[in-house]
C-alpha cells in the first residue's frame, strides 16, 4: 500500500485532488492535512508521497519542507510541491530544501498520476539501494561511518567497474589535505563535503588515512568542477590538493599510479590540482616497474605482511581489550589486512582513526585523524620497517587512545554520553 498525503489550507484544492482520485491501486490511500496539523499527521502516517501545496506565505512552505527533509523518520518520503503558478526562484528554493519534484495545481489528473508513479518508483529504488548498502556495510565493503567504499576493497571495486566498461573516458581523482589543511582536517567535514558534491553513480573510496579517491562518470572538466564544489563545501582554510587522470584503460593499478603521481606533483608544486600527462609530471616510464624493483617491492611487502600479522595485529587487539572497559559508550573497532591496519574509536558523531599503510618500499606511514569539535591535531608519522615492533606500535597506539580520552572525557565517561 502506498500512502499519499496532501498538505493544503485550501478546501478547493483538497476537493480537486480527491475528486480526481489520483490513486494507483485500490489499496492505495490518499490523506489530507492542514499546515498546522501537518507535523503530527505526518509523524503518525509516515507517508510514501507528500503533496505539499504552496502556502500563500511561501516561507511557510519552505520551512515545512525543511522540517520534513530534515527528519530521519521521513527519509523514505518523497515530496512533490504543488505550485499555483510557475516561479523559478521558489521552485529552485524548494529543490534546494529537498523537494523531489513540482507540479502545477491545475495539471490534468494523468499528470499527477505520472508524477506519483515516478516518485514511487524512485522511492522503491532508493529503498532497494539502502538494503544493498546495509548488506555491504555488514560485510565491511562499505564503511558504516562515511558511507563510502572501504579502501580495503578498492582494487576489487574499481577493477570490476572498469572491466564492465561503465566508466570509459571517465575521470579518477585522489584528494587529500595539504600541510596547511591538515591542521584543521576532519574526516567528518570532508565526508560531508564529498557527499554534497558527487552524484549517485560516482564511486567514492575512503578514508584511507586522509585520502579519498573518486571515480566519476564524467570527463576531466567535470572532475575539476566536482573538486571545486568539494572545496566550496569545506572551511576556507581547509586547503586540499588533487591528482586527476582520464580513465581509458581496464587496469586500475595503472590508473591509480597516474593519479598518485599527479597528486604528488600537486603537493610538491603547491598546485590546487594536477591532471596527469607527460607534460605535467614528466615521462611515465616509472609506471613500468623493473624486475629488480618488483623483487624489492615483493620482499618489502612480505616483510610488512609479517609485521602486520605478528606485531601490529596483536598490539591492536591488546590495546582494544585493555581500553574497552574504560571508555563507556564509545566503540572501538580495529582490523588488519595485507594492505593496511585501522584502529578507530567512535562516540556518536565523534571519530578518531589511526590508519597504517605502506606507500613506499622502505617505510610505512601512520595517519592519525580526529573528527569532531575541539578535536586534537591530526598528524602523520613515518617509520622505517625496522622500527616496527610491539613497544613502538603500542606506544603510538596508546598515545592515540589517550588523545581521544583527554578531549572527549565528558562524552564517553562510563555510563554517560
| Domains of the chain, earliest start first | 3-133 (3.40.50.2300), 140-287 (3.30.70.270), 291-412 (3.40.1000)
The lowest-confidence range among 76-90, 187-201, 312-326 is: 312-326
Share of the chain above pLDDT 90, in %: 25
At 173 the three-state DSSP class reads: strand
Write down the pLDDT at residue 20: 62
**How far is 39 from 47, CA to CA, in rounded Å?**
12
Write down the pLDDT at residue 26: 56
**Burial (Cβ within 10 Å: 0-12, 13-18, ≥19) of residue 140:** middle
Write down the pLDDT at residue 342: 82
In sequence order, the 6+-apart residues with CB closer than 8 A to the CB of 45 are 3, 5, 31
pLDDT (tens digit, 9 = 90+) per residue, 236-272?
Answer: 888 899 999 999 888 888 898 889 888 888 887 888 9
**How far is 258 from 246, CA to CA, in rounded Å?**
9
**How far is 249 from 328, CA to CA, in rounded Å?**
49
pLDDT (tens digit, 9 = 90+) per residue, 348-394?
Answer: 777 788 888 765 445 678 888 877 645 567 788 888 777 888 888 88
Report CA-CA distances (Å) from 99 to 54, 76, 231, 307, 327: 12, 12, 25, 52, 41
With residue 341 as reference, give the H or E element that holds it.
strand 340-347
**What average pLDDT does range 82-96 have in this prediction?**
91
Q: Evaluate whether 371 touches 187 at the Cβ level (below 8 Å).
A: yes
The lowest-confidence range among 95-104, 127-136, 220-229, 400-409 is: 400-409
Q: pLDDT tier at 415 (50, 70, 90 boundaries)?
A: very low
Q: pLDDT tier at 300 (50, 70, 90 boundaries)?
A: low
Cell of 222: 567535470
Which residue in 234, 169, 243 sits closest to 195, CA to CA? 234
Cell of 225: 568542477
Look at 139 and 378; give whichever has higher pLDDT: 139
Cell of 203: 564511486
pLDDT (tens digit, 9 = 90+) per residue, 146-178?
Answer: 889 998 888 899 999 898 887 888 999 999 988
Residue 215 has pLDDT above 90, yes or no: yes
**What average pLDDT does range 304-319 have in this prediction?**
78
Write down the pLDDT at residue 388: 80
Write down the pLDDT at residue 284: 45
Write down the pLDDT at residue 286: 41
Residue 287 has pLDDT above 50, yes or no: no
Residue 285 has pLDDT above 60, yes or no: no
Write down the pLDDT at residue 67: 93
Q: pLDDT tier at 27 (50, 70, 90 boundaries)?
A: low
Average pLDDT, the chain: 81
Q: pLDDT tier at 82 (50, 70, 90 boundaries)?
A: very high
- Whether the bond between 57 and the residue before it is cis, its omega within 30 degrees of 0, is no
Residue 25 has pLDDT above 70, yes or no: no
Amino acid at each position: 500500500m502506498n500512502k499519499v498525503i496532501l498538505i493544503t489550507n485550501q478546501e478547493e484544492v483538497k476537493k480537486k485532488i480527491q475528486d480526481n482520485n489520483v490513486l494507483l491501486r485500490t489499496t492505495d490511500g490518499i490523506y489530507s492535512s492542514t499546515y498546522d496539523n501537518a507535523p503530527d499527521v505526518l509523524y503518525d502516517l509516515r507517508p510514501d508521497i507528500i503533496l505539499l501545496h504552496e502556502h500563500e506565505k511561501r516561507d511557510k512552505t519552505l520551512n515545512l519542507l525543511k522540517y520534513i527533509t530534515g527528519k530521519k523518520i521521513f527519509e523514505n518520503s518523497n515530496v512533490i510541491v504543488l505550485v499555483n503558478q510557475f516561479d523559478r526562484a521558489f521552485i529552485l528554493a524548494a529543490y534546494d530544501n529537498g523537494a523531489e519534484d513540482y507540479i502545477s495545481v491545475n495539471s490534468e489528473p494523468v499528470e499527477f498520476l505520472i508524477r506519483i508513479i515516478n516518485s514511487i518508483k524512485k522511492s522503491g529504488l532508493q529503498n532497494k539501494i539502502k538494503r544493498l548498502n546495509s548488506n555491504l556495510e555488514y560485510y565491511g565493503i562499505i564503511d558504516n561511518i562515511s558511507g563510502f567504499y572501504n579502501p580495503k576493497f578498492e582494487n576489487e571495486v574499481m577493477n570490476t567497474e572498469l572491466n564492465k566498461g561503465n566508466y570509459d573516458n571517465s575521470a579518477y581523482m585522489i584528494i587529500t589535505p595539504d600541510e596547511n589543511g591538515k591542521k584543521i582536517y576532519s574526516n567528518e567535514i570532508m565526508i560531508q563535503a564529498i557527499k554534497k558534491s558527487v552524484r549517485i553513480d560516482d564511486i567514492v573510496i575512503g578514508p584511507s588515512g586522509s585520502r579519498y579517491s573518486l571515480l566519476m562518470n564524467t570527463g576531466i572538466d567535470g572532475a575539476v568542477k566536482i573538486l571545486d564544489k568539494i572545496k566550496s563545501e569545506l572551511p576556507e582554510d581547509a586547503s586540499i590538493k588533487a591528482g586527476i587522470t582520464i580513465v581509458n584503460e581496464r587496469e586500475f593499478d595503472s590508473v591509480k599510479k597516474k593519479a598518485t603521481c599527479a597528486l604528488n606533483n600537486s603537493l610538491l608544486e603547491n598546485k590546487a590540482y594536477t591532471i596527469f600527462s607527460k607534460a605535467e609530471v614528466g615521462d611515465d616510464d616509472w609506471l613500468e616497474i623493473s624486475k629488480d624493483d618488483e623483487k624489492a617491492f615483493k620482499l618489502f611487502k612480505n616483510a610488512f605482511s609479517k609485521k602486520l600479522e605478528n606485531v601490529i595485529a596483536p598490539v591492536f587487539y591488546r590495546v582494544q581489550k585493555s581500553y574497552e572497559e574504560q571508555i563507556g559508550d564509545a566503540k572501538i573497532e580495529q582490523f588488519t589486512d595485507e594492505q593496511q591496519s585501522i584502529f578507530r574509536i567512535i562516540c556518536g558523531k565523534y571519530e578518531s582513526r589511526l590508519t597504517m599503510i605502506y606507500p613506499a618500499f622502505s617505510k610505512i606511514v601512520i595517519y592519525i585523524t580526529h573528527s569532531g569539535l575541539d578535536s586534537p591535531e591530526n598528524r602523520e608519522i613515518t617509520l622505517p620497517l625496522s622500527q616496527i615492533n610491539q613497544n613502538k606500535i603500542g606506544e603510538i597506539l596508546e598515545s592515540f587512545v589517550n588523545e581521544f580520552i583527554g578531549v572527549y572525557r565528558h562524552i564517553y565517561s562510563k555510563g554517560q554520553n
